[in-house]
Structure 1
Amino acid sequence: MKFYCAEEYQVSCEEQFQRYQLDILTLLPDAVIEHIGASSIPMAVSKGDLDILVGVDGAELEEAVKLLTTLGFQEKVDTLRTPELCMLEATSGEDVAFQVVANDSEFECFLDFRDKLRENSSLVQEYNELKISCTGWSQDEYSLKKSAFVELVLAQAQPINPSLGSIWNIN
């Protein structure tokens, strides 16, 4: 794994997001479109990729997936696939993924995680440290460590006190 500091990738990811947002709205005018992932979190370290949540009515998810593939995307293999979630990846070589989710489903947790980090710079620092510690690791090793952190953040019922940031160290 290789990671980039925010100054190296966030502006270009935001520009890509704006472009894709317009394309998605043309196909799915009622969709909820949200910039998620590290590129949506100020000062977050990232692989430099762009993740976009596309929220649709659950009954329309399969049709939405079909329409989104016309933008040059395909279903991502070896990822969770349910009637409420489908992950798509770009076929163009761009490092862009759509998380197509049913509105009001448990998969809106992508938004919850993003929002918790946006609200707490100590969590962003912990997340950055975790990522940097994974430099050179395989995707699978990195995913396991990252997932444990995400689960801890999402499990918190109350806003996290910034002075408790050290409890998020995962070594």
Structure 2
Amino acid sequence: MKFYSPEEYQSSCEELFFWYKSQIEKLVNGALVEHIGASSIPKAISKGDLDIFVGVPNIELESTVRVLKKLGFQEKADTLRTSELCMLESTSDNDVALQVVANGSEFECFLEFRDKLRANEMLVQRYNELKMSCEGLPQEEYRKMKSFFVEYVLAKT
């Protein structure tokens, strides 16, 4: 696993985010479309991928997933799937993932995590250190270590 400095990837991810945001908003009326993940956090290193939060009313989650698949996405294998969360990944060369989330659900934690890191440079530094320590590890081991960090950040007041 390779990580990139913010200068290497953030501007291209931001550009791509705005393109997808406009496409999603055309297809899903009233969706909350937010840039999340490391590419949305100043000074955060990343694998260079783009994560997008798509918040919709719970009753519209499944229909939203069907519509977003028409944009070139498929359900991401081996990830949590509930009636309030569906993770989609791009079928194109773009390394883009959508987190389709029921408004008001516990999965709005994607936004909370992003906001806590944006507000605390020390947390970003610790996040970067964790990622660098994972370079070369299998994806599953990285996810496990990252998960502990996310839980720690979300538990902080």
TM value normalised by structure 1: 0.91
Structure 1 regions of 5+ residues with no counterpart?
Answer: 158-171
Q: Give the equivalent residue in structure 2 for 1:151.
A: 151
The Cα of 1:29 is off from its aligned counterpart by 2.0
TM-score (norm 2): 0.99
**Alignment partner, residue 77 of structure 2:** 77
| 2:67 alignment counterpart | 67
Where does residue 112 of structure 1 map in the other structure?
Answer: 112
Please name the residue that 2:131 is paired with. 131
Question: Which string of whole-angstrom CA distances, capped at 9 and with x for unpartnered residues, describes residues 15-48 of structure 1?
Answer: 0000000000000120000000000000000000
Give, as a single letter, the amino acid of the residue that structure 1 aligns with 2:22. Answer: L
The ranges of structure 1 where at least 4 consecutive aligned residues each deviate by more than 3 angstroms after the TM superposition are none
Partner of 2:47: 47
| 2:14 equivalent in structure 1 | 14
Q: Deviations over 1:83-132 (max 9, x none)?
A: 00000000002100000000010000000000000000000000000001
State the distance in 2 between where 1:152 and 1:34 align. 22
Matched residue SS, 2:30: coil
Percent identical pairs in the alignment equals: 67
AA paired with 1:150?
V
Pairwise CA RMSD of aligned residues? Answer: 0.4
Q: Which amino acid aligns with 2:109?
A: C
Larger radius of gyration: 1
Q: Which amino acid aligns with 1:25?
A: E
Aligned residues: 157
